[in-house]
A and B are shown apart, each in its own frame.
Chain A
């Protein structure tokens, strides 16, 4: 009898397993494929490897701006793939070591619930006082004619390309779509992003979304928004746009990133009575499902499809199952889009505040308010928007665009967690010169309004 069986070895599952192991519990982690999940193998880590290279490519092309002459610079995709595999391999071994050091038994196989306290795996039944479902998500395949053609890739398959396409259609403008758009544009591909929404879906903040779209357009990415893709045929993506039917032709690759679906099938949810719908398994902010002893975290819950949210949810679930009071505070989980420029968000948006009837003050400060940003980003643009409560002055939301923002957005999350006001933020010392100074300026400006 285990204290905990975790099903799924992604960031939600392995962090939870390690945490329970460190608490001295008997823990098993069941993973069908490789430890690390989508994050390590098909998501966060490989895409950031690609984007680092894209950023360097862009920097090389603009090297004269920084006083360097570079003759000839082009992408070596094979070398990049090799680097990606090396990094993924290193991190995967790290997770294996973590499991070993935390005393977690890793079982390779496909798991299925066989009851409240039972899991079937590899023909055997394992028993546990608690079961944490962390099976993650997979790319959603929309019902579009031609979507199954062999030059239509999902976000996992496109990471294995040996050559960059000449013309690429990206179906979907959320953060995954835009990160790939940025990478392939930098690699010299003609990229068109199509989406049914009127604005890119990469940021909850409309100013950030609009300015990110502009920035990507300047990098050569075309956007066909408010469109509905009707079919993919003969190397063309046909769609209905605001101006009627149109096509993006001579396409040699299509990337489908329209959305993600929770991995729910064949888990035994119906038999055990676990409550779920198309979005995922329903959980409380303690990580509980409706069935005592069965918990869930990460993408499979459909709450926030982010690795760090999954990890937090998993740890919170473990704490609660072993009597340590804890819960996920969703209002302070940061969201980062690793495009160039980076787009970050934490806390509430203006639209949410208006809907909730909360009076707020806002300030938008250009990133260039921080001298370091001028040094780092020749010709770069960006801003930090801070939203503070009109009555009490505490930070409610921070949304920003600009490279470097991903490394300091946690500070804004902390301000929200601690309900800090501009008065308290003024007492914090931000190192100079750093891009993070723009965050401080924005919060102080919003506090002064």
Chain B
């Protein structure tokens, strides 16, 4: 009987407790509901930032920027700074050796030549984001260009159809590699190594005994790397449009964030970034107009870079790719279809390899037996890594491919101007690659100690 009473008492106190708790909860929720209606975003933001006193809040103005920059450097968050510094060093060294290096003609040629390797490298960035590797891209690019040449020249198909067929072919090959990796569980390294050999053989078989199929240099494929928008308005117009879009999206995004009471970047930050972009893009436009005008290849490359960057950072698909690079098990438990994402990423890699192959074939106006061999694969992977994509997955942007391939092709052109032989080129490129990987590993260590990796 007595125990019964105590239990009743306990129940009562329980009841009171829950009652008190409930009113508390209701109060806070009522206060919360009022919050968005308050016409004082600054105070609201201040209230939210007061959540944790340990958080390092950036000071306002320029001092804040310098402080944050220093902190990031110390924490090893270098981003693309090593590559940009590297590019500047390359320009200074080669310009001092040969004044033709920074000429409009040379720079224009560099930006056209880099598109082929760059396209392949964009696909590699996707695969590296998963923490995997695709060794077959070189052979796939060669096989796709051979297929396009056979379809267009030998079979007489329209060139646009041959291009589409080649890209689809590359994507299907990639998906096939992805299938072996994602569904059957074979290591991507081994699957794509087999692919490297198989598609090389396939290309040689397709090209037949002759070994070379010459492309019509005035055809669509030929024009890919030879066409230039010679009207100076084209280059300047593109630069203006890009700058304007960048500013507008940034501005509207900031306005939305302010309206929603979420912290946003200060206006000065946006203006600084826009100014930087404007300087770079108008300088490039000016450079192109000194020579033949804006090259079509570069425009296509930029379109794909913007598109893939958007895909990776602004869509649910991209978020899933990054998630898989971070933790496969976490992604699986979050309901992400791991197999489908893996297959699709390898398909993207194959598709970009095919596109790169077409640009490379266009550059030499033929599909031949040496396509996709030699240092192409290594350069494509090196470009992604040099640009700052982590080999360990989950970190990187497709813009890295642009920066990395710029470094590699600039070195090649610079050495060519000095008429330095091929073997030395290989060794120097290898040195650059090793340096970047070392920088990557060292900064990762620093990041770990700074709690950022």
A and B: interacting chains:
no
